[in-house]
Chain A
């Protein structure tokens, strides 16, 4: 177990070092998510007043789309020099490789979220101050759930010719529960009459999805990566 966690940490740290050098994923994902938010702002903010109840949906659309972009590119790097095969040849549990990739992706998405959440709050008057911890927990749990499924599918599709098309086609239907729970939970906080108990219920659902998705992915990763 400790060996697997150590290997996962090595893989995650390697991914983060590579990203810190190139900054390719952070910049691309950040630019894309900001563009999405701005386009929504042009449509939903009139005379400086946003349409009520849109902030949560826009935030999660930006998170999901930018996450998909990051997923595809993160595994494209492993494909270019076939380094994923080198990782799979290492004498460690293959679940550790998955876990390392997942941790790095969650860290990357978190960096992007640190920027885009304040932008959404600013442009759409989202009252995040009502329960900042709860919003952060919803976003964190949603990110883990989305990345857990996405990491597995992106790894599975690494040798597929049409992987860029297939990834969102496979990913979005499976992660619908995560996105619904995230949007509903966040909307419950941002609503004119906030319902924090409802938000906590959606957070519990998200944590449940996370546990299920991560467990299933750890269980199946080794098998699906066998050629």
Chain B
């Protein structure tokens, strides 16, 4: 089965828990993620957002519960499932000693993509880094690396796109551009899941929001003010 032949339009998280020794990072999380939706994960530091992204990416195995991709468990699909997942980590997953173009071409070839040079050029254009294609990534600003890292994560046009703090280090213009890029990815039918603390940038981009605290997830109300207001209301409710 090649990554081109395996596809899914729904990811189901069922009663997923994850423990690190005695510490509970996720506790009985249940949620559905659908194609064409951008789900925001909000919560304080250490709430379990990054752990949930790692579990969704298949990099981390849940201690309990299961994640299914189009109704199939990750271990049943095998390596090809990873070809349908793109992830932008908090640490960007880029090689500083390679140029922007080399980074994209390396990952493009590793994913077995066709027309790697063409895709890499298009990705550089989308990241507005055409003129820095042959510069080493170590010389880039955080914002430039962030833009490049996003394009690297979606170079293979994944179905499931996982983003951990994608707005970190971006100026206002770059945040707006990233939000527009994410909207386009979502509109193209991807299942996008984004962990962020940036309510302003996420507002208007996300279609559903979840609040995580101490590993437990609850859906944020879809009405009742701005995203930030709804988040604060969820915190108050959790403390009550």
Contact = CB atoms under 8 A, between A and B. Distances in A.
Interface of A: 3, 7, 10-11, 14, 17-18, 21-22, 80-83, 85-93, 226-227
Given A11-B110, A81-B94, 9 more contacts: A10-B106, A10-B109, A17-B102, A18-B98, A88-B59, A89-B87, A90-B82, A91-B111, A227-B61
28 contacts: A3-B112, A7-B110, A14-B95, A14-B106, A17-B98, A21-B136, A22-B97, A80-B96, A81-B92, A81-B95, A82-B89, A85-B59, A85-B93, A86-B87, A86-B89, A86-B107, A86-B152, A89-B57, A89-B82, A91-B3, A91-B82, A91-B83, A92-B79, A92-B112, A93-B79, A226-B59, A226-B60, A227-B59
Given A81-B91, A90-B107, A226 B61 contact: yes
Contacts of A227: 54, 59-61
Given A17-B98, A227-B61, A81 B93 contact: yes
B95 A83 contact: yes
A93 B82 CA distance: 11
A146 to B, nearest CB: 25
Q: Is the interface of A mostly helix, strand, loop or mixed?
A: helix
B109 A89 contact: no
A93 to B, nearest CB: 6
Given A10-B106, A89-B85, A227-B54, A21 B59 contact: no
A86 B61 CA distance: 16
Interface of B: 3, 54, 57-61, 79-83, 85, 87, 89-98, 102, 106-107, 109-112, 136, 152
Contact of B91 (A14, A82, A91): A82
A86 B106 CA distance: 11
Contacts of B109: 10
Contacts of B95: 14, 18, 81, 83
Contacts of B136: 21
A86 B93 contact: yes
A18 B96 CA distance: 9
A90 B85 CA distance: 9
Give the interface centre of B81, B95, B98 by most chain A CB atoms within 10 Å: B95
A61 to B, nearest CB: 30
A89 B98 contact: no
A25 to B, nearest CB: 11
A12 to B, nearest CB: 12
Contacts of A11: 110
B93 A83 contact: yes
Nearest to B152: A86
B145 to A, nearest CB: 9
A92 B110 CA distance: 8
A93 B80 CA distance: 10
Contacts of B82: 89-91
A93 B89 CA distance: 21
B25 to A, nearest CB: 11
A93 B112 CA distance: 13
A5 to B, nearest CB: 13
A15 to B, nearest CB: 10
Given A91-B3, A91-B83, A92-B79, A83 B94 contact: yes
A18 B79 CA distance: 26
B135 to A, nearest CB: 12
B94 A18 contact: no
Sort A-B residue pairs by CB-CB distance and give the 3 closest, nearest first: A91-B83, A86-B93, A82-B91
Contacts of B97: 17-18, 21-22
B195 to A, nearest CB: 15
Contacts of A22: 97
A17 B109 CA distance: 15
Give the interface centre of A85, A87, A88 by most chain B CB atoms within 10 Å: A85
Contacts of A7: 110
A172 B57 CA distance: 35
Contact of A82 (B60, B80, B93, B152): B93
B153 to A, nearest CB: 9
A92 B107 CA distance: 11
